[in-house]
Amino acid sequence: MRHLSLIAILFAACVATADDAPSLAGQRPNIVWIIPDDMSANFSCYGETAVETPNVDRLAARGVQFTGAYVTAPVCSTCRSAFITGMYQTSIGAHHHRSGRGQQTIQLPDAIRLVPELFQQAGYYTTISDWPPKGNRLGKTDYNFQWDPGVYDGSDWANRADGQPFFAQLQTKGGKMRGKDSKGWESVAQKAERKLGSRTSTDAVKLPPYYPNHPDVVQDWAAYLDSVRLTDAMVGEVINRLDREGVLDNTIVLFMTDHGISHARGKQFLYDEGLHVPMVIAGPGIDAGTVRSDVVEHIDIAALSLAAAGIPIPDYMQAKDILAADYQPRDAVFAARDRCDETVDHIRSVRTADFKYIRNFLPQRPYLQPCAYKDAKSILIALRSWHEQGKLDDVQQLLFRQVRPAEELYDIHADPYEIHNLADDPAYADQLVQMRTRLDDWMVRTDDKGRTPESVAMYDSDMKVYTDKLRGNESSSKQLGVIESNIAWMKKMAAEGK
C-alpha cells in the first residue's frame, strides 16, 4: 500500500502554523466520514449473504477493507466522543453515555482538540450533517463534554471557498431506521420497497444462536437488514455527488459505523456484536482491493485522516495512523461500557485476534439490568416473554442470568459467538492471566477514569436533564415513571454495594 503519510511529509512544513496552512490547503485531499448509527458489519463484502450492498462493496474494491475494526465504546455518545478526539473515552472522562449534559459539566483536558478544529486550523472547510444535508442544520454530534460548535463551518461542503478542501462528517440513522416495534419495521420495509424495489424477506434472516426464532425477533432483523440496504444506497448517493462535482478522485472516503446493532447482546455490551464494525477507506494514496485482518480501533480514524491531509498528529493522541508505512499493527484492542442513560454499569474488555477477555466490575447485577431505552423495544419484550414461558434454550438463556461471572474468556476462533466462558477452565489459566494483565496495564497506562465511580452529583445532574424532558407531557408519563423507578433501583443496588 502506498503510504498516505507521504502526503504528510510533503505538506508538514505548510501546517506549522495556522497562518501558513491555508495557502497550500487546496492541494490536499478532501476527507469524508460516513458514519451510520447502530449497525454491525452486515455487508456483502463482510460475508453477509441475506442482502446485497453494492455501494459499500465497490468502495471496498477501490480501497482498503478492515475486517478487524472495533469500537472502544458500544454506545453512540461515548464512541463519538472518542473518535472526534482520537482518545479513549475513558481517558478524557467521557465514558458515561449522555453525560455532562446538566449543571454538572465535563471539560476536556486543556491540550485536547477536536479533529474538525485541527482541520479548520489547517485551512479546511469543516462540516457535519445528516444525509442529505438539510439547510444549515448541523448533524449528530452527541459529544459528552463542553465544546465549541464553531469547529464546524457549516453543514454542507458546497459553501466552501473556491478550491478549499473540506472535511465532512456525514451521519445517517443506520440501524435506528427500524425503530423499536412493528410500526418502525414496516416503515423501513416500505422505504426499501420504494427506493430499492423490494423488502427483505424474513425467510432470508439467519439469527445468531443466542437469539430465538421468535416472530418479532425475526421481523426486527429483516427490518434491520433493510436499514443496511438503505444505508448502502446512501453511500452510493455520497459517492455520486462527489463524482458529479469532480472531486471524487481527490477525496478520501471513510465508511464506519458508530457501534454494532442495537439488540439484546449487541449495543451496550462488549461482545463482538456490539463492538465489531465495518471500516472501509478509499481514495488517493490507497491501493485498491486491499483487505486487512489486523485489529484496529475506531479512534484510529482521527489519526489516519489528519495524516492523509498532511496535518501533524498531536503527541497526546492515542489514535494511530493505521495507514502509515511504518505502522506497527496493534496486537490487542480495548473497550469499555459504563453508565448508559439511567443504567449504571462498569465493564472492560481486551480482544486479540484469538481471544476476548471481559471483566464485569459489578458481577452482582443481572446482565439485563432495567433500562428504559432497551426495555421498550419489542425484541426485548419478546425475549423476556419467551424466557418467562421457558421457550429459550441454554444458550439463549445466558443473558437472563441474575448475576455475572467476574471474568469472561472466549476463544474467538473456536467460539465466534462468545458463548462458552473459559475463565474457570484450568487449560486456559495462563491465557486468562495474560489477558487480565493486558487489561490492567491498559487501564493504568491510559488513566481509565472509570476506576472512580461517577459521583452522585453528576448522576443526579444528568438524570434531571433526562427526566425533565418528559415532565408535563401526558403521553410520556408512563416512560417517566419507568425511568424514575429504574433510577431508584440503581441507587438501591449501589447502596447495597452491588
Q: What is the mean pLDDT of the chain?
A: 94
pLDDT of residue 24: 43
Question: What burial class does residue 101 get, using C-beta atoms within 10 Å of its C-beta: 0-12 exposed, 13-18 middle, 19+ buried?
Answer: middle
DSSP β-ladder status, 64-70 and 290-292:
parallel
Cell numbers found for residue 319: 489514535
* Burial state string for 303-332 with b = 16 or more CB within 10 A and e = fewer than 16: bbbbbbbbbebbeebbbbbbbbeebeebeb
* Burial state string for 377-403 with b = 16 or more CB within 10 A and e = fewer than 16: bbbbebbeebbeeeebeeebeebeeee
Mean pLDDT of 438-467: 97
Residues 73 and 87 sit within 8 Å (Cβ to Cβ): no
Q: Is the pLDDT of residue 18 over 60?
A: no
Cell numbers found for residue 366: 443481572
Residues 483 and 372 sit within 8 Å (Cβ to Cβ): yes
Q: What is the DSSP secondary-structure string of 252-270?
A: EEEEE-SSS--STTSTTS-
Residue 205 CB neighbour total at 10 angstroms? 18
Q: Is the pLDDT of residue 132 over 90?
A: no
Tens digit of each residue's pLDDT (9 = 90 or more) over 108-117:
999 999 999 9
pLDDT of residue 134: 81
Distance CA 71, CA 331 (A): 15
Residues 327 and 321 sit within 8 Å (Cβ to Cβ): yes
pLDDT of residue 135: 83
- The dihedral over CA atoms of 83, 85, 86, 91, expressed in degrees to the nearest 10, equals -100
Distance CA 266, CA 256 (A): 16
Mean pLDDT of 47-59: 98
358 to 41, 79, 308, 406: CA distances (angstroms): 21, 18, 34, 8
Least confident of 120-134, 337-351, 425-439: 120-134
Tens digit of each residue's pLDDT (9 = 90 or more) over 68-119:
999 999 999 999 999 999 999 999 999 999 999 999 999 999 999 999 999 9
Q: Within 13 Å, how many C-alpha atoms sit on residue 454's CB side?
A: 32
How far separated are the first and last CA of the chain, in Å rounded? Answer: 50
pLDDT of residue 408: 98
Mean pLDDT of 260-269: 98
Percent of the chain past pLDDT 90, that is, above it, reads 92
Picking from 350, 346, 387, the residue whose alpha carbon sits closest to that of residue 363 is 346
Least confident of 9-23, 86-100, 299-313, 373-387: 9-23
Residues 6+ apart with CB under 8 A from 94: 77, 78, 81, 82, 100, 106, 143, 144, 145
Helix (H, G, I), strand (E, B) or coil at 276: strand
Residues 6+ apart with CB under 8 A from 304: 4, 281, 319, 320, 321, 322, 323, 324
Q: Is the pLDDT of residue 419 over 90?
A: yes
Q: Is the pLDDT of residue 36 over 60?
A: yes
Q: In the structure, what pLDDT confidence band is assigned to residue 11 with cuts at 50, 70 and 90?
A: very low
Q: Is the pLDDT of residue 2 over 70?
A: no
Q: Is the pLDDT of residue 337 over 80?
A: yes
Cα of 57 vs its chain's centroid, Å: 20
Picking from 106, 101, 98, 43, the residue whose alpha carbon sits closest to that of residue 76 is 98
308 to 12, 108, 167, 196, 301: CA distances (angstroms): 11, 25, 11, 35, 10
Distance CA 300, CA 180 (A): 31
Distance CA 384, CA 214 (A): 11
Domains of the chain, start order: 5-327 (3.40.720.10), 337-454 (3.30.1120)
pLDDT of residue 14: 40
Q: Is the pLDDT of residue 4 over 80?
A: no
Q: Is the pLDDT of residue 8 over 50?
A: no
Question: Cα–Cα–Cα angle for 253, 334, 443, nearest 5°?
Answer: 135
Residues 467 and 480 sit within 8 Å (Cβ to Cβ): yes
Percent of the chain past pLDDT 70, that is, above it, reads 95
Cα of 386 vs its chain's centroid, Å: 30
Cell numbers found for residue 42: 452486515
Tens digit of each residue's pLDDT (9 = 90 or more) over 180-234:
999 999 999 999 999 999 999 999 999 999 999 999 999 999 999 999 999 999 9
Residues 6+ apart with CB under 8 A from 396: 209, 210, 211, 212, 383, 386
Range list of β-strands (E), 361-440 = 407-411
Q: Would you call the peptide bond into 426 cis, given omega within 30 degrees of 0 as the criterion?
A: no
Mean pLDDT of 407-429: 98
pLDDT of residue 267: 98
Q: In the structure, what pLDDT confidence band is assigned to residue 3 with cuts at 50, 70 and 90?
A: very low
Q: In the structure, what pLDDT confidence band is assigned to residue 27 with cuts at 50, 70 and 90?
A: confident
Q: What is the DSSP secondary-structure string of 433-492?
A: HHHHHHHHHHHHHTT-GGGSPPPHHHHHHHHHHHHHTTTT-GGGHHHHHHHHHHHHHHHH
More confident residue, 144 or 1: 144
Q: Is the pLDDT of residue 405 over 80?
A: yes
pLDDT of residue 7: 42
Tens digit of each residue's pLDDT (9 = 90 or more) over 142-159:
999 999 999 999 999 999
Residues 275 and 74 sit within 8 Å (Cβ to Cβ): yes
